[in-house]
Structure 1
Amino acid sequence: MTIPSSPRVAVLAGGLSHERDVSLRSGRRVAEALRSVGVEVSIHDVDSDLVPALGDLRPDLVWPLLHGASGEDGSVRDVVQLLGLRLLGTGPRASRVAWSKPIAKTIVAGAGLATPEFVTLPQSLFRELGAGRVLDTVVARLGLPLVVKPSRGGSALGVNLVTSADDLPRAMVDCFSYSDTALIERAVVGTEVAVSVVDTGDGPVALPPVEIVTDGAYDYDARYNPGRVEYFTPARLDDAVATAVREAAVTAHRSLGLTRLSRTDLIVDGEGQPWFLEVNVAPGMTETSLLPQAAEGAGHNLGDLYRSLVLASLE
C-alpha cells in the first residue's frame, strides 16, 4: 500500500456507553492535534449514520476513540474491518480479550506478571447461591480490603474499595449497575501508576509512568475534572522500580496481542513489586488523561506522535 502524503483519518468518538462524554472529549483533542500537523480528520459518532458515512468517505484510517463496551469490546472494530478499512490500534479479537479483566489478568499472569488474587461473580449466580453466604466466603478467602469492579468497563465506573465486610453488599449492587459480572480482587496498598505504551513502527515502547495521587477514590469525577488529582510525570519511583513498571506494561501489551497503543494500570506495593490491575486498548486522550501526560512528559509533541501512529498503521 502506498502511504498518502496527507492521510485522511476518521476518528470515532461518542457512542452510547456511560463514557460517552469522555470519548467525545478524547476525539476532539486527538483531532485538534492531528490537524495541527496537517492530517485531514473527520469525527464520527457511532450511530445509524456511521456505516454509510465511512462507506462514502473511505478514509485511509479509522481511529476508534470510543470508551466503554462497543468501543473496547471489539464490536465496532469488527464493523470497520468488514467495511475493508484500516484501524489504528488493537484489532477486534485482542480487544475482546483485553476488555475482559478476568481474562486479561489470567493471560498476563501466565506471562509472569503479578496480579492480585480475584474471583468473578455473575449477578445471576450471586443471587442463586445467596448473597450473604457468598460474600462471607469471599472475605474469608481474600481478606480485606477488597476492590469490587465490573468485569468489563472503564473510567472507574462501578469501582469501590471495600474496607469493611458490611460495605461489601452495597459495593456489589453498585457494580452490578454497570455490569452483570463483578470482579472482586484483593486490594494492594501502594503507589498507583499508569504506564502508556506506543508503537510507532519500531516495536512497543513504554512512556514514563504517571503517578496518581488523590484525596479519596480515583473515581470518574477525579479522572476527568481537574483539581482533585495530583499527577507526577515521571512517577516518583526509584530507577529499578520505574524500569520494572515499564517492562510490565510492555509485557502486558505484547502478551495480550495489542497494537500501536495501550495503557496499563498498576499498583506498586511497599516492597517495590508492581501489580497488574488492567489494561486499556482505547486510553483516554482528554486534557487530564494519562497517555497525553506521559507523552508530553517524555518530550513528545502530541500532534507529531499521533501522526507517527497514523503513518505506522498505514505501513
Structure 2
Amino acid sequence: MKKSLIFGFGRAGRGLHLHCLRKLHTDQRHSGLFDTKVGVVDPYASHIQEPSLAFFRNVKDVEGFAPEDTVVHICTSPELHAETLRQAAEYGYTNFMIEKPLASTLAELEMIQQLERQYGLDVLVVANWLSSSLTGKIREIVRSNRYGQLTLIVAEQDKARLTRTLSNMSHDSALDVEIPHLAALALSLGGVKADVVQASVTDMHVEGAVVPNLGTAHISLLHAGGLTSRLNSNLASPVRKRTIRLYFANHQVVGYYPCAQDDSYSWLQIYDKDGVLIEQQVMYDDPLSAMFVEYYRYFDGLCAKPESDLAFNAQVVATLCEAKMKCGLMLSKEEQGLYASAGLHYETVKTG
C-alpha cells in the first residue's frame, strides 16, 4: 500500500490525479492498494483549505511520506518535469508517475534519462488510453489477425479548449495538449519504430483574438511494418470526441472513448467491406482509474511493469519533437548542432 504525494496542484494535480485517487479510496475492490494519506507539494497551494490533504511548500518540508512508501505524482508543466524529478530524487523518492508529455524537448528528455540512471528511478508516464478497456479489445483484434493486416490507424481527439487556452498560455502548441495521448496510442498499437512523414498546426481564432499554434494539430506516421497512423486534434471544436478507426483489408473497426468524467462507457463497432455494421459492443471504461490501479499494483510488486515506462515515452517524446521540427516549432537536429558548436543552446522556437 502506497501513499500519494502530488507535485503541482493545478488542473492535472487537483482535477485529475486527486479526483481519481479519492474515487479509488472509496472503491472496496482496491482498499489494500491506496493509502488514503495524500500530500501536495506546491508553493502556491498552501492557502487551499483541504483537511484531508497535507500541504508542503517544497520537498524539503515534506513529513510523513517516507520514500519507500510513497508514489510521487509529478503534475507540473512539462518543462518543469526534469527539475521536479531531480528535487524529489535528491530526497530519496524513486517511484514516479509523471503527467504527459514526459518532456517537451529532447534536452529535457535527456536530463530525465540521466536522473533515472543516477538515482535508480522507476518512472511511469500517464497514458490512460493504453489502460482503456476499449484499447484492450482493439489490441485483441489486431493481435488475432482475424481481419488480416492492419493498414491504417486514424485517431482523433477534439474538444472546445477556448477558455483554458485564453486564460493559461502554458502550452506552446496543440502538439503538447492531446496529441501526446494519440501518439502513445499509435506507437503502442502500431509499433514504436515510426517516422513522422507530415505534421502541421494551426492557430486558434476566438472573437478576433489569435492564439498561435493552439488550434489544430496533425501528425502522420509511417511505422516500420508499413502501417500508417494519422493523429488529429482540434482544440477549437464545438464537438467533443475521442475516436479511433482501424482499417483492415475488408473491415473497419471504430472505437469511441469516454469524453468526460461524467460517463464511463466506450463503444466498439465493426463494419464489413460494404460499410455494414456487423458487431457492436458497449463496455464500462474508466481508463484513468484503471491506469492508477495498474501503476500502484506495479509499485507494490503485484504485476509486471506497465507499457508506458520511460523507454516507451522516450519514443513518444522523440516523435513529438520530430513533428515540432517539421512544423518549424523546434530547431532541427542539424540546426541545434550549429548552435551547440557555437557554445549556445536553443532548441524550441517561440512564436506569438
**TM-score, length-normalised on structure 1?**
0.37
Larger radius of gyration: 2
User: TM (normalized to structure 2)?
Assistant: 0.34
* Structure with more contact order per residue of length (Cα contacts < 8 Å, sep ≥ 6): 1
Q: Which has the higher strand share?
A: 2
Indicate the structure with greater helix content.
1
